Structure formats: structure tokens, C-alpha cells
Amino acid sequence: MGLSAGRKENRRLTVESHVTLNHDIIVVVREWQEKIEDVTWTGARGRDVDDPPPGLARGHAATIHDVARAAGVSVGTASKALNGQGKLRAETIERVQAAAARLEYRPNDLMQSLLRGRTHTVGLITTDNGRFSMPLLLGVEDALAAERISVFLCPAPNNSPAAPVRERQHIDSLLAKHVEGIIVLGWKIDPRPPIDIGRAHTPVLYVYTSVDRPETLCLLPDDAQGGRLATAQLLRAGRRRLAHITGPEDWGAVRLRRDAMRDLLHAHGLALPNDHVLAGPWRSRWGYEAACRLLDTDPRIDGLFCGNDQLASGAMEALRERGRSVPDDVAVVGFDNWDMFAEETRPPLTTVDMQIYELGRRAGLRMLGLMKGERESGIVRLPCRLVVRESCGASSATETNAIA
């Protein structure tokens, strides 16, 4: 075997030793082993995408060979300069990088992933069909950005009959792509079945949902602490005859917030009678109806804790219609800090913020740890924060984490 043939054979063996993908990918690697550094050209901003970069013929994708030729160095030197490897003069590195920029050279991520045995990708499967997915995704992406890891967003909304099928398809697709981790975002904190990844060793963590596996890591907002924040704010405002409007009572978050409110009131020598707690759908209309019922039951109510901002918005409408001033007659505290409700109600709404972005950021950081082999498990709860506005205790928005 000649020297050239030997190098080709070694390169083939090196590639195959780093790749454990499906047969089609192996074939691609074999066919293109001499062009591993090749790229796809996408056109520069401000120039017609049909026009090639300076130094390239039309339709020609810039390769490492083009960069090396333009910089006047060998292919190996160009590769080292672009990958930060070897001991090269600063002048050489600068010349290679300038040539790469002029030719709009982009390394082929697929081929580089095959060689280094990493894809630098994480999958995020979300069953949430509400407002939590995007801020959580932004938090995850910001945490992973330092490691240059990209996120595949895979929606399987819980309100779709096809959700279980879609989730299974996403799992299979992510595993086939050899993502380095999977984050599962739920639509409520209650336990769900764990996803099935078969014999794969891909790290999985759950956020805003949980699974009944003690060895699994789950990140949740601290709903009980949030309930205490809301109740404490009403007490600080001098309110002593409180009521609670909330969502479906079979939700874990509903029970945690309600029980925390009741416990804190008990610690202050106050009661929360059963007829002062009304559960229903998470809708403004229910907040309106529940507030009317509560005022009929006890006209002396002077403080309302609502399980989300939509409920609070409806409750405040009912209070206005009944001639009750907020906060002078009845102080109101919501939950979620959803700006389209919290900032637009009149007066603006004091509310509990679950810090969904921060929950996502911490999920991303924990995933980085799992990907590096760290072991974490159990349920981790992120404290909520109180945003104080005019509906209970402030003339402008302030934040606090204090608990009475």
C-alpha cells in the first residue's frame, strides 16, 4: 500500500472508529472522506445569493482547500488555524481566518460531529400549549450557548389527540440525531410517565413536570413558597378576611398554593374557611363568577389571592361592578406575572412570578452537568418572586422574595 493510499485508509478507519450512526450516514462518510472539511455556501448579507463570494466560481462551495490556497498555506495548516490547534504564528492564523471570511467558509457541522463523536445538540420536548415554552426555551438556550450547543424544539401540545404519537416521533428522531441530552417540558407540575429512550444513555431531565423515579432530575417552581409570598403580601397590607380563587383542584400546584395559604393564615391565628376557597377553570370568566359568589357569601372579604393572573383579571372586573375599590376595599394578588394581564389590569396587578426563564436557564446548566457525567436526581424547586404593583401594596412595581 502506498503512502497516499495508506493515509486514505487511516482516515477511513479514523472516521469509522468515531461513528456509530445508521448505515446511510456511514455511506455518506465513506463517499466524502476526502471532503470532510467541505461546506455549504449560503451567500452574504447585502449580496444576491446567486453571486459567488470573491475568489469562487459560481455554484462552487468553499472548502478547506480553497481557504488554504487563498491564504497560501497547506490544508493542514489552514485546518489548524481555524480549529485553534497546533503552534502557528499569529500572522498565519490571521491570514487563514481572513481568507475563510472572504470565501464565506463554513465547516460542515455534520462531518465534524462524526469525527469528534459529539453533535453539540440537545432536544427540548414540550407538551405545553401555553405561554411557558418560549421563556423556558430562551433560558435553556442561554445556558447552553457558552458550550455552543443548539436546541431542537419539539412540540407535542397536550391539547392535541396526537400528542402521544408526536412525542414518540420526537423521541425517536432526537435519538437518531444523537442529541447529547433531552429536556422534557410539561404543562403542569404533576407526575407524568417517563419518556422511553430504550437502551440509549442519553441524559434526560424534566422541567415544569415530574416523574415517579427518584433517580431522575426534575426542576419545578416552588408553588408552596409562591403561595406563602402572595398570602404574606395580603397580610402586610393589613388584610385579615381572605379568600382564594384558583384552578382545577386536581392540579398539584393548586393544592400546594392553597395549603400554603391556609398554613400561613393559621400561623397568624386566622382561618381560611372552605367556602372561601373556590376552584374552577383557569379562565377570566371563572375569576369573575367566583368573585361574585364570594362577595355573596361574605361581603366583608378584604383580600383575594387568585391562582393565576387571568382569574385575578376577572375577579377585579367583578369587584368594580360591585362597587368595590381595588385595593382600598379589596386587595388582590395574582400568580404567574403574565404581563398582558398583570400590567394591563386597572390597577396593575401584584402577582407571583415563577421565574420561568430562570427555570429554563437552570435546566440548561443542569443538563450541561449531566452531559459531563455529573449525577443529579430528585426534585429541585426554584423559589418564586413577588412583583408588587398597585392592586396590593405599591404605587409602582417592586420585587421581593420575603416571606412573612
pLDDT 10s digits, 88-112: 889 999 999 998 888 888 776 665 6
385 forms beta bridges with 353
Strands 217-221 and 242-246: unpaired
Report whether pLDDT(215) > 90. Answer: yes
Rounded-to-integer distance, Cα 57 and Cα 111, Å = 24
pLDDT of residue 64: 84
Report whether pLDDT(37) > 90. Answer: no
CB 125 within 8 A of CB 151: no
**pLDDT tens digit string along 143-164?**
999 898 999 999 998 888 899 9
Rounded-to-integer distance, Cα 326 and Cα 278, Å = 20
**pLDDT tens digit string along 67-77?**
899 999 998 89
Residue 330 backbone dihedrals phi, psi, to 5 degrees:
-135, 120
Min mean pLDDT across 206-215, 251-260, 390-399 is at: 390-399
Residue 26 backbone dihedrals phi, psi, to 5 degrees:
-60, -45
- Using 50, 70 and 90 to split pLDDT, how confident is the model at 81? confident
- For residue 150, give the H/E element and its range: strand 150-155
pLDDT of residue 167: 96
CB 235 within 8 A of CB 266: no
Instruction: Go through the domains of the chain in sequence order and give each one's CATH number.
Output: 3-115 (1.10.260.40), 133-221+357-381 (3.40.50.2300), 223-355+385-400 (3.40.50.2300)
Is residue 103 classed as helix, strand or coil in its secondary structure?
coil
Give me 154's grid cell.
419539539
Dihedral angle over CA of 16, 151, 382, 146, nearest 10: 80
Q: What residues contact residue 198 under an 8 Å CB cut-off, 6+ apart?
A: 175
**pLDDT tens digit string along 327-360?**
999 999 999 999 889 998 999 999 999 999 999 9
Residue with cell 401540545: 157
